[in-house]
Structure 1
Amino acid sequence: MTATSVTPAFAVGDTVEILRSQNTKDTTYNGTEAEITGFSAKGWLKLKCHDGKAATLKPDWVSLKQSAPVETEAEVDEVEASAVVAETDGDVAQAAEVVIAAEPTTDEVQSKTPPEPEVATEDKSIGYFKFSCNSVLFAKTIAQVRRVIRTMSIHPILSNVKITADAESRRVEMVGFDLSLGVITSFLASEVPVGGSYTISVSILSDILSQLPEGTITLERNESSPKAKLTTTNGVFEISGIDAYDFPALPIPTTNVTTLKVTSKLLRVGCDSTLYAASTDQTKMVLCGVHMVFSPEGKFEIAATDGHRLALYRADLNSASGITTDQHLTVPARSLQEVERYLAKDEAMVEIGYEVNNNSGPSIVQFKLEEATIVTRLLEGEYPKYNALIPKKFQREIWVERLPLIGSIGRLAVLAALKTYLVKISVESKKITLYSEDDDTGSGTEAIPAEVSGEDIKIAFNIKYISEALKSIATQEVAIKVNGPATPVICTPLNGYDIVALIMPVQLRS
């Protein structure tokens, strides 16, 4: 490759200000001054930073602060006189070295300058990297990141996945971010000869990888092309991308951070028990989130409501929380669904960290899991006082097997009227009778054995609400507690977790 001519705007000895460094994770030298000590064959500037460390940057990554002083004739004569004195003292070799260092010839510079490689060799340089890995492992990891990336984002770079390869650890890190929710995950590559960062279209890369057979593949990007090159066993793909320094940094909590820990099992049960009840109506704002509360006594609860139903889970953390007051976090349901995907091992610990602000509540929360780190913005606003909605006493209580009840509701749903989508339940001694009817489709009735405490009653529910409430309780039997046909009804497990599923019945006309 032919050498690029040196930019005439700079000279050895000039002082420049570093606008940005090659490594987006290390901005230590951004805005600081450095001295030009030479030029690479491609025209890049070789710099000496304030702490003595060397760096090589593109000319457009710095700005000129001060030109090197031009030597006067007197200064030149003084240098020559010094050389003569050195020769007189018998140190001819040392004087010769001084002259050569002061005024090198063009041929000597070319003979001593090593040829520049096609790919930048500095680890973590912007845009240039190369690594090899297993295709199935790469496809699995990028599929996890793809879930949070909006492919039709108004910012083109947010439709890309940021890929960073580390030559020392051989880890390849991938980041997806939509300015609200971010996911960081990584895997171990088989080889990383060149470390660096770049962003690539996640949809194109993921679609190609998902259809590749298992084997070793190589992804690289170098100066010879603005595109990344994916080399497989049978072919080569070139994919467009954008330099990584334009990718927005994830708002990871760094100052005044409070850290809480829960087990993977506890958080998974909490998500399974509540996520279904969060609102999907974006106009309801805070109700689109799941509310988490941590108390100084080591109590934990998580709740969700959409205004028609409520789901609540309570548990003990079994560890000191280290907080002095109740901590409230309203996490977007979409973000918590992403966290739930990584909750595999029951005993694994999940680290929840957020910044404490004296003027307002936390705005960012980070979930550190074994296989990923998830960062999300919290929802603002006061969450409803849901504990006040749960009745303290009930006039009637029904103990019934959960799965047979879910099955009956599902079969009767086939005949339910599309407009009302109701199932009616008649509670009698030793049984409950479910029925549904519609003038167009027909009607159906099923009876299920049950233990009933209290007077008989007829009550109706939205099929979706009662079905999802029962499915969120993973026990063989459930207790359904009722006061009247127009008051809140709750479903709780028998001999299981502390779960409350509250639904409002539908009032029937006489």
Structure 2
Amino acid sequence: MRFDVSSTALLSRLQSISKVIASKNSLPILDSFLFNLEGNKLTMTASDSETRLVTSVDVMNAQGSGVFAVSAKILLEPLKELPEQPLTFDINDDNLEIFIHFQNGKYNFIGQKGDTYPQQKPLGQNVVSILVDAQTLLNGISRSIFATADDELRPVMNGIYFDIHPDNLTFVASDGHKLVRLRNLSVKSSEKASFILPKKPANLLKAVLAKESEMVTIKFDDNNAYINCTNFEMVCRLIEGRFPNYNSVIPQNNPHKVIIDRLSFLNALKRVSVFSNPASSLVKLQLKENQMKVSAQDIDFSTAAEELIACQFTGVELSIGFKATYLIEILNNINSTEVVVELADPSRAGLIIPAENEENEDLLMLLMPMMLND
């Protein structure tokens, strides 16, 4: 086999799929990229046995065809240092000795047989398919992934729940303390269905989708999902199990509503939380007529801070405690200028929602309060 390929085109494709390769693999072949040459198209695969990413690059002057594997480390490290130029791959079909010729030199190493690389199982019964715009999918993953859990006892919480309805797609993530529900009304489906996308493939998709602009096809059965976009295909194992009924934990009647500038609130929290107890990261919000006092203290070190922020609030005075790190994360993942904080009482979850939703979106964030000691 022999072919020519652009060094930067090859490197950018390999880098984008290399993130799937685990540091310790059960099968040694998974430390390698799988290459498949057919005509003038070179298809490349990387996998960790749970998730695989496939992409391709156009090559020139191709001779022969076949499958071979190359250690990811051997290929990536030198390619990173090469300026843009054509590379010529020359592969001995008998012993898989590979020569890569470039402007000022050549690399030489032995490849591996591609036929030992794990094959991807096709989808089984009950396949559901939906079409999602790449940026819609990216937005849904980016704004919910921070709320996923790392819980060995409840694996269903360790991913993003895709709740598919005929007139919307809802992204949900929760770790039991915070919850994100992002409903997108532009995605339509012929049926009701759902799946839980694990955190690793979700993060890989984030990186891949940033460069995509077309529609993405998601096909899934009970165990696996195939996600196809213009330049990539991802196949991943889904988390099995039932996601909890997230709507039941969202409090409906919240008499206290605060409208506040998001950045003023966020920056005050960042400053005040420095003075909170590092173990609890507790901040106290005290609401009075059109004013919020954000305060924190660490009794062990005799440090304390408080700031006043103007807001729109009328009603009974109220104090509630939240974990500052969680509240900061939530505010970082909302884009609107102002947010609405809806509260019932100091022991019930607070809702944080954008004052103005983006087009076709309905975003809600929920945060459980912390007990105040006073």
TM-score by length of 2: 0.93
Deviations 1:329-378 (A, max 9, x none): 111122122222232478621111123xxxxxx11111111121111111
Tell me by how many angstroms 1:503 deviates.
0.8
Tell me by how many angstroms 1:183 deviates.
0.5
Among candidates 480, 483, 487, match of residue 341 of structure 2? 480
Tell me, yes or no, if the aligned pair for 2:147 and 2:179 is still in contact at 8 Å: yes
Q: Could you tell me which residue of structure 2 aligns to residue 416 of structure 1? A: 276
Which amino acid is the alignment partner of residue 176 of structure 1?
Answer: A
Q: Does 1:337 align with 2:197?
A: no
Tell me by how many angstroms 1:300 deviates.
1.5
Q: Could you tell me which residue of structure 2 aligns to residue 322 of structure 1? A: 190
Runs (4+) off by over 3 Å: 223-227, 254-257, 344-347
Equivalent-residue separation in structure 1 for 2:345 and 2:61 (angstroms): 67
- The more displaced of 153-162 and 211-220 is 211-220
Q: Could you tell me which residue of structure 1 aligns to residue 130 of structure 2? A: 260
Indicate the SS of the match to 1:452. Answer: coil
Tell me, yes or no, if the aligned pair for 1:151 and 1:203 is still in contact at 8 Å: no
Equivalent-residue separation in structure 1 for 2:345 and 2:20 (angstroms): 44
Higher RCO (C-alpha under 8 Å, 6+ residues apart): 2
Among candidates 123, 145, 148, match of residue 20 of structure 2? 148
Tell me, yes or no, if the aligned pair for 1:365 and 1:378 is still in contact at 8 Å: yes
Q: Cα–Cα, structure 1 residues 346 and 208, in superposed 2: closer, same or farther, change >3 Å?
A: closer
Tell me by how many angstroms 1:254 deviates.
6.5
Indicate the SS of the match to 1:414. Answer: helix
Equivalent-residue separation in structure 1 for 2:27 and 2:245 (angstroms): 38
More strand per residue:
2
Which amino acid is the alignment partner of residue 259 of structure 2?
Answer: W
Indicate the SS of the match to 2:208. Answer: coil
Tell me by how many angstroms 1:223 deviates.
4.2
Alignment of 1:86-165 (within 5 A): 129-165=1-37
Q: Does 1:298 align with 2:167?
A: yes
Tell me by how many angstroms 1:176 deviates.
0.9
Q: Cα–Cα, structure 1 residues 413 and 252, in superposed 2: closer, same or farther, change >3 Å?
A: farther
Q: Could you tell me which residue of structure 1 aligns to residue 292 of structure 2? A: 432
Tell me by how many angstroms 1:310 deviates.
0.9
Equivalent-residue separation in structure 1 for 2:290 and 2:338 (angstroms): 15
Tell me, yes or no, if the aligned pair for 1:415 and 1:441 is still in contact at 8 Å: no
Q: Could you tell me which residue of structure 2 aligns to residue 171 of structure 1? A: 41
Tell me by how many angstroms 1:441 deviates.
7.4
Which amino acid is the alignment partner of residue 290 of structure 2?
Answer: K
Structure 2: runs of 5+ lacking an equivalent: none
Instruction: Report the structure number with the largest CA radius of gyration.
Output: 1
Tell me by how many angstroms 1:225 deviates.
4.6
Q: Could you tell me which residue of structure 1 aligns to residue 84 of structure 2? A: 214
Tell me by how many angstroms 1:277 deviates.
0.6
Equivalent-residue separation in structure 2 for 1:204 and 1:436 (angstroms): 52
Deviations 1:202-245 (A, max 9, x none): 12211111111121112232046543222222222223432001
Q: Does 1:504 align with 2:368?
A: yes
Q: Cα–Cα, structure 1 residues 508 and 255, in superposed 2: closer, same or farther, change >3 Å?
A: closer
Equivalent-residue separation in structure 1 for 2:114 and 2:55 (angstroms): 16
Equivalent-residue separation in structure 2 for 1:234 and 1:444 (angstroms): 62
Tell me by how many angstroms 1:466 deviates.
0.6
Q: Could you tell me which residue of structure 1 aligns to residue 256 of structure 2? A: 396
Which amino acid is the alignment partner of residue 297 of structure 2?
Answer: E
Which amino acid is the alignment partner of residue 447 of structure 1?
Answer: L
Tell me, yes or no, if the aligned pair for 1:149 and 1:176 is still in contact at 8 Å: yes
Q: Cα–Cα, structure 1 residues 257 and 499, in superposed 2: closer, same or farther, change >3 Å?
A: same
Q: Could you tell me which residue of structure 2 aligns to residue 37 of structure 1? A: none
Q: Could you tell me which residue of structure 2 aligns to residue 32 of structure 1? A: none
- CA root-mean-square deviation: 1.9
Q: Could you tell me which residue of structure 2 aligns to residue 464 of structure 1? A: 325
Alignment of 1:337-416 (within 5 A): 337-344=203-210, 348-355=214-221, 362-416=222-276
What is the percentage of aligned positions where both structures have the same residue?
A: 23
Equivalent-residue separation in structure 1 for 2:324 and 2:74 (angstroms): 41
Tell me, yes or no, if the aligned pair for 2:283 and 2:323 is still in contact at 8 Å: yes
Which amino acid is the alignment partner of residue 328 of structure 2?
Answer: S
Q: Cα–Cα, structure 1 residues 346 and 164, in superposed 2: closer, same or farther, change >3 Å?
A: closer
Indicate the SS of the match to 1:394. Answer: coil
Tell me by how many angstroms 1:269 deviates.
2.2
- The more displaced of 410-419 and 156-165 is 410-419
Q: Cα–Cα, structure 1 residues 347 and 155, in superposed 2: closer, same or farther, change >3 Å?
A: closer
Equivalent-residue separation in structure 1 for 2:354 and 2:291 (angstroms): 19
Tell me by how many angstroms 1:135 deviates.
1.1
Alignment of 1:18-33 (within 5 A): none
Instruction: Give the number of equivalent residue pairs.
Output: 370
Q: Does 1:272 align with 2:132?
A: no
Indicate the SS of the match to 1:157. Answer: helix
Tell me, yes or no, if the aligned pair for 2:14 and 2:44 is still in contact at 8 Å: yes
Equivalent-residue separation in structure 2 for 1:376 and 1:268 (angstroms): 17
Equivalent-residue separation in structure 2 for 1:444 and 1:248 (angstroms): 57
Tell me, yes or no, if the aligned pair for 1:481 and 1:489 is still in contact at 8 Å: yes
Equivalent-residue separation in structure 1 for 2:16 and 2:327 (angstroms): 32
Which amino acid is the alignment partner of residue 508 of structure 1?
Answer: L
Q: Cα–Cα, structure 1 residues 209 and 239, in superposed 2: closer, same or farther, change >3 Å?
A: same
Tell me by how many angstroms 1:308 deviates.
1.4
Deviations 1:288-324 (A, max 9, x none): 11111112x32211101111111111122354x222x
Indicate the SS of the match to 2:24. Answer: coil
Q: Cα–Cα, structure 1 residues 507 and 229, in superposed 2: closer, same or farther, change >3 Å?
A: same
Which amino acid is the alignment partner of residue 179 of structure 2?
Answer: L
